[in-house]
Amino acid sequence: MSAGEFDLRVVVDPDETISERDEGNNEVFLLIGAADPEVVGSVSGFAPDLVLLLLAGLFAGRVVNRRQSAS
């Protein structure tokens, strides 16, 4: 894979064989930017941010559960 922008498309029911109320929502696309594989190793990741987010979510869930148990 080379660096650049890529268009990722997902199409569901392209022949419209499934009857739906809204046939206009069967396709979605996303523009993805890809880095040069040689440079990726030197870029710091965002894994520590994900770990902090996970810990914050666990803490918030515990607080909510305690409040619901207390009432």
Tokens of 64: 């909510």
* Containing structural domain, residue 58: 4-70
Q: What is the DSSP string of 4-49?
A: EEEEEEEES-TT--S--S-GGGSEEEEEEEE--HHHHTTS--SHHH
Per-position pLDDT tens, the chain of length 71: 567 788 888 888 888 888 888 877 888 888 888 777 666 555 556 556 777 888 888 888 888 888 778 76
Tally of domains within the chain: 1
- Token look-up 């040069």 returns 36
